[in-house]
Amino acid sequence: MARTDPGPTRRRRGHPVTIHVIAPGDRPARAAILLFHGGGWVQGSPEQFFPQCRAMAQRGILAASGVYRLVGGGADSPADCLADARAAISEFQGIAASHGLGEVAVGGGSAGGQLALAATLIDPVGPAPSRLVLFNPVVDLCCGFDAGLLALVGLTPRQAAALSPAHHAQSGLPPTLIFHGTADRLAPISAVRDLCTATGARLVEFEGAEHGFFNVSPYYEQTLDRMAAFLLGPGE
């Protein structure tokens, strides 16, 4: 039986940063992953990934869903969201260590995938994640985002480029697994394909699937199985 912990809360410049942890009950954890929800940096909540976290915990994986400030709700731009994601990763690494785990994987969906990638590629702080698991991540904020959309989240085109993982691909990635639908209009798969070509990340394409596909059956079960195998396996 998986066990849900409320998770720690710490403060960063006066702002609480919380992660919700689901442990594998009485069994020792065999791996660990922290996930960040999507929502375009302006909406969403950690509950999005609670089902995946519970499923991972049932398979012996210490799983957590991170909280970060949203633009318009305490964050001025995705740069603040990224700062909170970095703090959550650092906190979760300590939690994983208390479970006897020396490495953690990080991941997320859509904007949360951007945060996981950016924390790894752009001016990384602290130990790098051992693996990444990403669900239709936003990898290039300059692709598909016009000036109006960027202004909505408090970014200029130059700032958007600076926060785009695709513009930092030369830094390299740990073993990375990406799930993406070929019919995604919000986060075009073409940019993800380019990132994978540049970094060697593994891309699993789902024909005809749209943005957010991984939350519904049969994609939900398919991505769960692949994620668990990736986290518990030797990596790629």
Contact 112, 37 (CB under 8 A): yes
CA–CA separation, 134 vs 113, rounded Å?
A: 5
Find tokens 């859509």 and name the residue: 110
Identify the pLDDT of residue 197: 95
CATH number at residue 23: 3.40.50.1820
Which pLDDT does position 6 carry in this prediction? 46
pLDDT per residue over 84-105, tens digit each? 999 999 999 999 999 999 999 9
DSSP string, 36-68: E--STTTS--GGGGHHHHHHHHHTTEEEEEE--
Query: How many domains, the chain?
Result: 1
The pLDDT value given to residue 235: 59
End-to-end CA distance of the chain: 30
Q: 42: domain range?
A: 3-232
CA 151, CA 153: separation in Å to the nearest integer? 5
pTM for the whole structure = 0.92
Residues 185-234 have pLDDT tens digits of 999 999 999 999 999 999 999 999 999 999 999 999 999 999 999 999 98
Q: What is the pLDDT of residue 236?
A: 52
pLDDT in tens, 162-180: 999 999 988 789 999 999 9
Q: Band of the pLDDT at 5, cuts 50, 70, 90?
A: low
* pLDDT (0 to 100) of residue 9: 45
Question: Comparing C-alpha atoms, which of 144, 150, 173 is closest to residue 162?
Answer: 150
**Residue 159 token pair:** 């700032």
